[in-house]
Amino acid sequence: MNPAPSPGARNSATLPTARRLILGSTSPYRRELLQRLQIPFEVASPAVDETPLPGEAPVALARRLALAKAHAVAAAFPDAVVIGSDQVADLNGQALGKPGNHANAVAQLRQMSGQSVVFQTAVAVVCLQSRFEQTDLAAVKVQFRALGDEEIENYLQAEQPYDCAGSAKSEGLGITLLASIENDDPTALVGLPLIRTCRMIQAAGIPLLPARKDQP
């Protein structure tokens, strides 16, 4: 069973939501993104094996893991609305996940140099008590510049993005590695597509813009 969720972002100016909202993720990037909504939420770690299945396509992998993470946390907190998310970099059908270390990050960036990569970011929202379940996916097409080995090394030494799918932080220095970005959900590349997330948690019963206590 997952440990009790830790506080994520609690805005004292807002009234409590109808249900608890829990982010089923240990990612600091997703936590920061969800804080932008100014909705009280908690954080719990999902115990999910992220190993791809044999022959599993990047889109299928991202969707499966997002839903698995949401369900893993929802099993411990069935009355809560739980968000799960996962991102997989899709390079010509090959799934690239988090590099985990410097050598893997170098290899990934060499592979993506001069290439078009689609970052598949899936989000799932689950509430077991109300039998609510929705999933969605935001695809972000990223064109990488042709990268030299010195550029790759300098970037990795500066930002060390070893916990990011595709070995680059677009919200940071990683933007210098890119030629273009095409998407319809601006935060998807960072790790959580907020437009889709807002639509889904609202459907699950979480008010997006609750009345504030300081209003007359």
- Are the C-beta atoms of residues 144 and 178 closer than 8 Å to each other? yes
Residues 6+ apart with CB under 8 A from 150: none
For residue 25, give both structure tokens. 């993720």
User: 3-state class of 36 per DSSP?
Assistant: coil
Q: Which of 87, 195, 73 is nearest to 127 (CA)?
A: 73
The residues carrying an active-site annotation are: 86
Number of neighbouring beta carbons within 10 Å of residue 17: 17
Give the DSSP H/E element, type plus range, for residue 164. none
Q: How far is CA 202 from CA 17, 125, 183, 195, 206, in A?
A: 11, 10, 22, 11, 5
